[in-house]
Structure 1
Amino acid sequence: MWWPISVLASLLAVIVAANAKVQLPFLELGTDYWAFLVCGSRNYTNYRHQADVAHGYHTMLNLGVRPDRIITMMFDDVALSKENPRPGVLINSPNGPDVYKGVIVDYKGWDVTPENFLKVLSGNKTAMKGIGSGRVIESDSNSTVFVYFVDHGGPGVLFFPDYVPLGADDLHNTLANMYRKKQYKNMILFIEACFVGSLFEEIIEEHTNILVFSATARDEGSWPWYCDGVNVTSCKGDEFSIKLWEYMDSVNPGEYKTLNEMYQRVRTGISHSHLNLYGDLSLGAFSFIPNKLGKKQVKTGSRTLETTQQKSVKPTDTQIFYLEQTIAQSKNLQTRLNAQKELDNLLSGRTRFDEMMAHLVTVATADAPQLREKVNNVHLPLNLDIFPCYRELYESFRKYCFSIQDDYVLSQMYKLANICVLHINTAKLLREMPRICKPYGQLGSTTAS
Structure 2
Amino acid sequence: MTVLGLLLIVGLFGACAPATLDVDNTWVLLVASTGVSGWGLDNYSIQANVCHAYHTILATGISPEKVILMMPDDLAHDPRNPNPGKIINRPNGTDVYAGVKIDYRGKDVTPTNFLNVLSGNKAAMAGIGTGRVIEGDASTNLFVYLCDHGDYHVIYFNDKNLLASDLHHTIATMHSQKKYNKMVFYLETCLSGSMFDGMYPAEMKVYAMTASKPHEPASMCYCDLNEGACLAAVFSAGWMGLWDSVSCPVIVPSKLVHLHHLKWKVSHAADEESLKKAQLELDLYMKEEEDIKDLKFKLLELFASESPEIREYQERGVILPSNPQSRVCYEDLVTHFSEHCLHPLRFQGGVTMFANACVMKLDTPKLKREMSAICEQHKAHKVPH
Same fold (TM over 0.5): yes
Which secondary structure does the structure 1 equivalent of 2:223 belong to?
coil
Are the counterparts in 2 of residues 142 and 184 from structure 1 also a CA contact under 8 Å?
Answer: yes
Q: Is the 8 A contact 2:69 2:102 kept in 1?
A: yes
Moved more, 352-361 or 129-138: 352-361
Q: Is the 8 A contact 1:346 1:444 kept in 2?
A: no
Give CA-to-partner distance per residue, 1:132-152, whole Å, 9 cap, x none.
110001111111110000000
Seen in structure 2, the aligned counterparts of structure 1 residues 198 and 332 have a Cα distance that, compared at 3 Å, is: farther
8 Å Cα contact 1:401-1:437 kept in structure 2: yes
Q: Is the counterpart of residue 155 in structure 1 residue 126 in structure 2? A: no
Moved over 4 A (4+): 27-31, 325-339
* 8 Å CA contact retained: 1:222, 1:315: yes
* Match for residue 45 of structure 2 among 48, 53, 75: 48
- Give the Cα–Cα distance (whole angstroms) in 1 for the partners of residues 88 and 109 of structure 2: 22
Does the C-alpha gap of structure 1 residues 366 and 415 become closer, same or farther in structure 2, counting only changes over 3 Å? same
Aligned counterpart, 1:388: 328
Q: How far apart, in 2, do the equivalents of 1:222 and 1:195 lie? A: 7
The Cα shift of 1:329 comes to: 6.6
Q: SS at 2:167's partner residue?
A: helix
CA contact (8 A) 1:198 1:381 kept: no
CA apart distance, 1:54: 0.4
Shift of 1:303: 4.0
1:206 positional shift:
1.4
Equivalent position to 1:176, from 165, 172, 176:
172
Give 1:26's aligned residue. Answer: 18
Distance 1:438 1:332 in 2: 40
The more displaced of 355-364 and 98-107 is 355-364
Deviation at 1:438, TM superposition (A): 3.0
Equivalent position SS for 1:145: strand
Identify the residue that residue 121 of structure 1 maps to in structure 2. 118
Q: Identity of paired residues, percent?
A: 35
Aligned residues of 1:350 and 1:443 also touching (Cα < 8 A)? no
Alignment of structure 1 residues 282-297 onto 2, 5 Å: none
Rounded Cα–Cα distance in structure 2 between residues aligned with 1:438 and 1:190: 38
Deviation at 1:226, TM superposition (A): 0.6
Q: TM-score, normalised by structure 1?
A: 0.75
Q: Indicate conservation of the 8 Å contact 2:53/2:240, yes or no.
A: yes
Deviation at 1:112?
0.6
- For the 8 Å contact 2:69–2:101, the answer to whether it is kept is yes
Q: Shift of the alpha carbon at 1:332?
A: 9.8
Q: How many residues align?
A: 366
Q: How does 1:50-449 map to 2 (within 5 A)?
A: 50-162=47-159, 164-229=160-225, 232-246=227-241, 302-304=242-244, 308-326=247-265, 338-377=277-316, 378-406=318-346, 409-442=347-380, 446-447=384-385
AA at the equivalent of 2:153: G
- How far off its partner does 1:236 sit? 0.3
**1: distance between equivalents of 2:202 and 2:55?**
30
What is the rounded CA distance, in whole Å, between the counterparts of 2:237 and 2:218 in structure 1? 12
**Matches of 2:365 and 2:235, distance apart in 1:** 40
CA shift for structure 1 position 446: 3.3
In 2 relative to 1, CA 444–344 (structure 1 residues): closer, same or farther, beyond 3 Å? farther
Change in CA separation of 1:388 and 1:334 when aligned onto 2, cut-off 3 Å: farther
Distance in 2, matches of 1:335 and 1:184, equals 56
Q: Deviations over 1:255-279 (max 9, x none)?
A: xxxxxxxxxxxxxxxxxxxxxxxxx
Q: Is the Cα–Cα contact under 8 Å of residues 222 and 248 in structure 2 kept in the other structure?
A: no
In structure 2, stretches of 5+ residues that fail to align are 1-9
**1:403 positional shift:** 2.9
CA distance in 2 between partners of 1:67 and 1:189 (Å): 19
Indicate the residue corresponding to 2:6 in structure 1: none
In the alignment, is the contact (CA less than 8 A) between 2:32 and 2:146 conserved in 1?
A: yes
CA distance in 2, matches of 1:39, 1:333: 39
> Hey, what's the Cα distance between the residues in 1 that align with 2:17 and 2:336?
54
Give the SS at the match of 1:169.
Answer: helix
1:259 alignment counterpart:
none
Higher relative contact order (CA 8 A, sep 6+): 1
CA contact (8 A) 1:346 1:445 kept: no
Q: Displacement, 1:361?
A: 2.4
Read off the aligned partner of 1:414 and give its amino acid letter.
Answer: T
Secondary structure, counterpart of 1:165 in structure 2: strand
CA displacement 1:400-427 (0-9 Å, x = unmatched): 3323343xx1222111121112211112
Give the C-alpha shift of residue 387 in structure 1: 3.4
Q: Is the 8 A contact 2:188 2:210 kept in 1?
A: yes
Separation in structure 2 between the aligned mates of residue 388 and residue 334 of structure 1, nearest angstrom: 51
TM-score using structure 2 length: 0.87
Deviation for aligned residue 1:78: 0.7
Structure 2 vs 1, CA of residues 340 and 113 (structure 1 numbering), >3 Å: closer, same or farther? farther
What is the CA–CA distance in structure 2 between the aligned matches of 1:76 and 1:205, rounded to whole Å?
35
CA distance in 1, matches of 2:33, 2:279: 27
- SS state at 2:207 partner: strand
Distance 1:429 1:136, change over 3 A: same
